[in-house]
Amino acid sequence: MYFSSWQQALQMQGHGMYVWPAYLIGIGILVVFTWVLRSRTRDALRKLQRQVEPSDQVETSDSGA
């Protein structure tokens, strides 16, 4: 590691106050976007599942008759 301690890595000779917030905000945006996409996908799958389930039941009762 270039820095001799974590404290030095955090401070980066006074530049840490610019570097770390930028990375935190940037990575935070990417993580939130991933979460939003995945939760919207799960919602879409659940909606589709609800559409499929009744027709599945109808088919079963038809075949039974």
Partner 1 sequence: MATNDANKNWRVVFKRWFHQWASPRFFFEKTASWLPFLSGMAIVLLGIGWGWGLFWAPPDYQQGNSFRLIYLHVPAASVALSIYALMAMFSLVSLVWKIKLADTWAQSCVMSGVLFTFIALMTGAFWGKPTWGTWWQWDARLTSMLVLEFLFIGVMVLRTAIEGREAANKAAALLAVVGIVNLPIIKFSVNWWNTLHQGATFKLTEKPPMPAEMWVPLLIALLGIYFLFAAFWLLETRLLILQREGKSQWLQRWMMTRYCIDNKDKDKF
Q: 25 is written with which tokens?
A: 């905000």
Structural element, H or E, at residue 35: helix 16-64
Which residue from 21, 31, 35, 58 is in contact with partner 1, where contact means CB under 8 A?
21
10 Å Cβ neighbour count for 63? 7
Which residue from 4, 18, 54, 62 is in contact with partner 1, where contact means CB under 8 A?
18
Residues 22-61: x where in contact with partner 1 by CB under 8 A, - otherwise, as a string: xx-xx--xx--xx--xx-xxx-xx-xxx-xxx-xx-----
Length of the chain: 65
Residue 51 or 61 having the CB closest to partner 1: 51
